[in-house]
Structure 1
Amino acid sequence: MTDTFTHTLRRFAILVCVTVFGAFSPVLAVELSGTPAQGGMMWGKVKAGAKVSLNGKAVNVGPDGHFVIGFGRDAPANAKLAILHPDGTGEEQVIEIKARHFEIERVDGLPPKTVTPPPEWRKRRARETGMVRDARGHLTNELAWTGGFVRPAEGRFSGFYGSQRILNGKPRSPHYGLDIAAPVGTPIVAPASGIVRLAVPDFLLEGGIIIIDHGFGVSSTLFHMNSVDVEVGVTVEQGEQIGTIGQTGRASGPHVDWRVNWRDVRLDPMLLIEPEPMNGPF
């Protein structure tokens, strides 16, 4: 386990209260680290061979007992983490999820066809969204996420996770990324190590896009890139340049949109690089 990850554990570590079922050891808690909030990611370790589920859905557990969980933008106030130990005993932890306030964000000046895509785009968009889904669908036991995360580019934070977006005056779905604005050509680096699962220079809305698999269903997606400088299948190290900032796809100015997923759950990248979110209070 890296020094960076150890530091991250110390910074975010909390002990979650538990409700116990069945007969088992008097140690009544599994220590979780991370942020128990809407958009937050948490992680922990159980005995090898244990099974873990979140709200009744199975969670991937690595051969050494590592696991990761995450909570979406609209996650309810409580989540139930169940652990079945190898000896047949179990425990259940109720995690209190902090609610957050998300701002309204207006983006004007976008080309009309990128706000309301024309019918002829539908087939291509279906293919592109399928490629994204497949890239995020890899589930490995790689522990690249344990090295922590760094911001993928230097620049001004210009858009925040969870904000309700109004595009050219029309309400749209929430924004699920962290936007970093900087001049075209500014380097973009891998926020964490991992395997490149998608690298395409010209998606309709995302423009240049890269998806990096960090293991356990945790992935980073970066788009609106001017150049895509890596290929699918290569392993990149944290901080390694993977491309440059652009204004491609649906973008009103040069920036990179960084998104983090745990499987199909969209997480807040800011919570992985800062101890407090910057887009509104809890």
Structure 2
Amino acid sequence: MKKISFILFLLFITSSHSIEFNGKFIQGHFITGKTETGTKIIIGKKEVRVSKDGFFVFGLDRDRKNDILITKIYNDKRETITKRVLKREYNIQRIDGLPENKVTPPESVYKRIKAENNKIGEARAINSDLIFFKDQFIMPVDGIISGVYGSQRILNGKPKWPHYGIDIAAKKGTKIKSSATGVVTMAESDLYYTGGTIIMDHGHGISSIYSHLETINVNVGDKVNQGDIIGTVGSTGRSTGPHLDFRINWFQTRLDPMSVIN
């Protein structure tokens, strides 16, 4: 990954308006904002929720190519900020000679996969007024990071989806902590790709996903505090060994989990 030797503007204040940004304007990153109460914020063409205390959040796609426009409307006055988005380089791995069933799932499971993806999409689309996203996230399990955000495999010449999380290798049965306070919106023990899976809502479209779990200790609707044990590491679903696949999303935009932990 290309080293970035400088930090983009984290604070933007002028005499006419004030918005504080916490985060880096880099592909895949998570950014929170703070502005005056009663302000309307539009990210690109999408109006985002602003809390009663002026907090908002958004994310930058892995492959975003353009600068981002942030529009502030306050007391009927509209102002626009343009932020340059830095590009990243991602690891590409090519593997040939694999059995075809390891590259493409059989047609018999297509209907199941589609139904499960729809349920995941619904959980990620929730736009609640929770504001737990503004607090510092923590690493959910102790272990070795064996897979990083943005990397991609080309299997038998077929480009597969990039990896949109971090893989943390740990022993089967290792306890998993909630990375942040939130509400459980999915708790499934046997999804085709991700096996035991938990999704939590942290507010304003920010969700976290924990995959390949051996056991699940929470139920849909539970409020979970940061650091609570939500399950254990496993190797369920399409997994080659015990690990936790940990992901962060802003609605359907997949973000680098390390950008919310660091």
Tell me whether the two structures share a fold, i.e. TM-score over 0.5.
yes
Q: Which stretch has the larger CA shift, 60-69 or 255-264?
A: 60-69
Give the residue type in structure 1 aligned to 2:39.
A
Distance 2:119 2:217 in 1: 19
Is residue 2:206 matched to residue 1:218? yes
Kindly state the Cα deviation for residue 110 of structure 1 after the two structures are TM-superposed: 8.4
2:172 alignment partner, one of 184, 189, 192:
184
Name the counterpart of 1:23.
none
Kindly state the Cα deviation for residue 135 of structure 1 after the two structures are TM-superposed: 1.1
Is residue 2:2 matched to residue 1:14? no
Is residue 2:60 matched to residue 1:60? no
Q: Which stretch has the larger CA shift, 67-76 or 107-116?
A: 107-116
Distance 1:248 1:108 in 2: 25
Name the counterpart of 2:161.
173
CA contact (8 A) 1:114 1:250 kept: no
1:138 alignment partner, one of 112, 126, 144:
126
Is residue 2:31 matched to residue 1:35? no
CA contact (8 A) 2:48 2:204 kept: no
**SS of 1:44's equivalent?**
strand
1:80-120: CA deviation from partner (whole Å, max 9, x where unpaired): 000100x1112111111111111124679988545311111
Name the counterpart of 1:6.
none
2:146 alignment partner, one of 158, 175, 180:
158
**SS of 2:19's equivalent?**
coil
Give the residue type in structure 1 aligned to 2:128.
T
- The percent identity for this pair of structures is 41
Name the counterpart of 1:82.
71
Distance 1:254 1:101, change over 3 A: same
Q: Which stretch has the larger CA shift, 203-212 or 53-62?
A: 53-62
Q: TM-score with structure 1 length normalisation?
A: 0.84
Kindly state the Cα deviation for residue 153 of structure 1 after the two structures are TM-superposed: 0.7
Distance 1:109 1:181 in 2: 26
Distance 1:251 1:64 in 2: 42
**SS of 1:76's equivalent?**
coil
Q: How many residues matched? A: 256
CA contact (8 A) 1:178 1:257 kept: yes
2:228 alignment partner, one of 215, 240, 245:
240
Distance 2:166 2:38 in 1: 36
Distance 1:185 1:167, change over 3 A: farther
Name the counterpart of 1:46.
35
Distance 1:106 1:178, change over 3 A: farther
Kindly state the Cα deviation for residue 169 of structure 1 after the two structures are TM-superposed: 6.4
Give the residue type in structure 2 aligned to 1:216.
H
**SS of 1:122's equivalent?**
helix
Kindly state the Cα deviation for residue 58 of structure 1 after the two structures are TM-superposed: 1.1
CA contact (8 A) 1:114 1:205 kept: no
RMSD in angstroms over aligned alpha carbons? 2.2
Distance 2:70 2:238 in 1: 38
Distance 2:131 2:148 in 1: 27
Distance 2:10 2:169 in 1: 33
Name the counterpart of 1:203.
191
